[in-house]
Amino acid sequence: MAKIQKIKGFADLFADEAGKYTFLENTARAVFSRYGYGELRTPVVEFTELFAKGIGQDTDVVGKEMYTFPDRKGRSLTLRPEATAGVVRAFIESGAYQPGGVYRYFTFGPMFRYERPQKGRMRQFHQINVECFGSPSAFTDAEVLLMLADFLTAVELERLSFEINTLGCPDCRPAYRATLAEFLGKIPDEALCEDCRRRRAANPLRVLDCKVPGCREASAAAPSIQDKACGRCRANFDIVRAALSGAGLAYVLNPRLVRGLDYYQGTTFEVVSGDIGSQSSVAGGGRYDGLIRTLGGPDAPGVGFACGMERLALLLAGRPAEKPDFHIAVLDPAGLAAALSLAQQLRAAGFSGLCDHEAGSMKSRLRAADRSGARQCLIIGGDELATGTVVVKSLATGEQTTVPMERAASALGK
Ligand code: HAM
């Protein structure tokens, strides 16, 4: 039969790689819980409508990238392309919200986007996602950013650039949008890529985000949202900037940072790495005050971010795999039962290890022990069985001693 292969853009993560994800998740859990965040796990499949309404029909994510399919009753379902919409849905559905309350959640897990796979871009990828509901304060924006920085420091990722912007609010963005559309309307067609030619009227802010060099050049002198934002948005942005500076977190102002999902307003940010190629954004987020209401919930504000774990994993140095403490080599089939029982005793005593379930020659069993990476090999042959002993051999130095089987644990030491 032809070999069944994994789907393009999907990955198998074996121990070395999976260990990085576990490390990232465990560290995130520890850091976020210090800020009062609790874990929330939501389904990976939701009704399509949730994402269409939440993320926006005109976004690439909803327009081109969703894995959408009918279920057996013909209802349209979608594999989540991001976590925020599902977390908001769960929050609304829980009925937990009380005016004045602040609710803090983090979520880990796979997300799905039908994008062109490349380094740092997968069709199934994993996010570490954070959402804070209920606080309109710019100090919350600042704290969320500082928590993200805290996490990235805890996983020892440096050389990252924090880029921040404000996208204005429903009071000031429409005027900015019109000013920007007017500016973009004067650019000759041939100076813009096909997408931007279409976007400049329909979604002018997205032109600022285009990576095509010609479009960047043509829009270089575009008016900046940071200059056109209303007093409240500017005051909030000043609070965020002052708080970041006060905490010693260096940042870059990026007036072109518009994000790819439609729910944002006010503070937005991305964390960018120069070390992983074109898919350089390792985290992104911002404030989305209208989203909970758009999805049928209370008029509660929100702010959050997500880190892409594939991209963080690319930046993490190889983590040494855990090695077993022992490998029990069995040379005589009559020793298999004693070996199994010894292995159980050693594990109960806190050691990790492997045990032969088939006997073999000294040479083949020592080779297997070496391959396992174990520190010590415990050898049980005919002589040891007859005397109730075991040979303890250091696989690093080759030194060996014979001890009574019940003393194997103390011979292993730690
Ligand atoms: P996003 O910018 O679409 O935001 O994704 C966040 C991060 O997920 C990106 O910075 C990137 O590291 C990673 N990512 C996105 N797509 C892929 C992919 N195809 N392969 C690998 N990594 C990828 C959101 O998803 C928002 N929900 C973040 C948020 C939470 N905003 C507020 N709360």
User: pLDDT for 84-107, tens place per residue?
Assistant: 999 999 999 999 999 999 999 999
Looking at the chain, the whole-number percentage of residues with pLDDT higher than 90 is 87
Which ligand 1 atom sits nearest the alpha carbon of residue 115? 19
Asked if residue 345 lies in contact with residue 319, where contact means CB atoms within 8 angstroms, the answer is no
Specify the pLDDT at position 87: 98
Distance between Cα 306 and ligand 1 center (Å): 6
Specify the pLDDT at position 336: 97
Checking if the pLDDT of 414 tops 70, the result is no
Compute the average pLDDT of residues 293-321: 92
Residue type at 303 in one-letter notation: V
Which residues touch 136 (CB under 8 Å, ≥6 apart)?
289, 301
Instruction: Report phi then psi at 344, rounded to 5.
Output: -60, -40
* Longest Cα–Cα distance in the chain: 94
Residue type at 126 in one-letter notation: H
Specify the pLDDT at position 202: 84
Order of strands, sheet of 67-70, starting from the edge strand that comes earlier in the sequence: 45-47, 76-79, 67-70
| Structure-block tokens of residue 301 | 């504000």
Specify the pLDDT at position 70: 98
d(CA 160, CA 250): 10
d(CA 408, CA 404): 7
Checking if the pLDDT of 359 tops 90, the result is yes
Which ligand 1 atom sits nearest the alpha carbon of residue 271? 10
All domains of the chain in start order, with CATH: 15-172+229-315 (3.30.930.10), 326-412 (3.40.50.800)
Specify the pLDDT at position 227: 86
Distance between Cα 281 and ligand 1 center (Å): 8
Specify the pLDDT at position 1: 82
Distance between Cα 21 and ligand 1 center (Å): 16
pLDDT, tens digit, 9 for 90 and up, residues 22-74: 999 999 999 999 999 999 999 999 999 999 999 998 888 999 999 999 999 99
At 199, the pLDDT band (50, 70, 90 cuts) reads confident
What is the CB neighbour count within 10 angstroms for residue 378?
A: 29
Structure pTM? 0.93
Compute the average pLDDT of residues 113-117: 97
Checking if the pLDDT of 318 tops 80, the result is no
Specify the pLDDT at position 277: 86
